[in-house]
Amino acid sequence: MRHWLWTYPEFNQLFMPYIAQKMREKEQQASSLILHDVSTRLSRIILEHINKIKFYTGTKEEEHQHHLVNGLNDETLARMTGSVRQVINKQLQHWKKENIIDKKRNQLIIKDLEALEKEAKYTQDLANAPLSNT
């Protein structure tokens, strides 16, 4: 592998940033599992996907290549949060009762975005959010 990376520097320039990004993602995932409860992790995942959709500028045919997710079922959300379907369903039902979300056939309709952001307990802006001029 080392020989190949040295032989093809253009591949190296693409491969190393990709590996670094994946390592950062795994580090964030491990930290999140250790430091945050299920409601925080779940709300962050939902907000991150809202953010990706909000700032997506490509075509509808290519959105699957950019990891945009429009219809997440409970099992998928559970895997993404490092939990189980029953716990995720219970949290979603709680949010539904609190009128934060509405859930219909794998579609989450956010009714109270501020409440969801409060659940996420962010100490900084989302990674893709535009910078505000203050």
Residue 103 lies in a domain: yes
CA atoms within 13 A on the CB side of 103: 17
Can you give the CATH number for the domain in which 79 is found?
A: 1.10.10.10
Residue 131 lies in a domain: no
Full residue range of the structural domain in which residue 54 is found:
36-120
HEC string for 28-78: HHHHHHHHCCHHHHHHHHHHHHHHHHHCCCCCHHHHHHHCCCCCCCHHHHH
Provide the pLDDT confidence category of residue 91 given band limits of 50, 70 and 90: very high
pLDDT at 93 over 90: yes
Residue 72 lies in a domain: yes
pLDDT at 3 over 80: yes
Residue 90 lies in a domain: yes
Q: Whole-model pTM above 0.75?
A: no
Domain count of the chain? 1
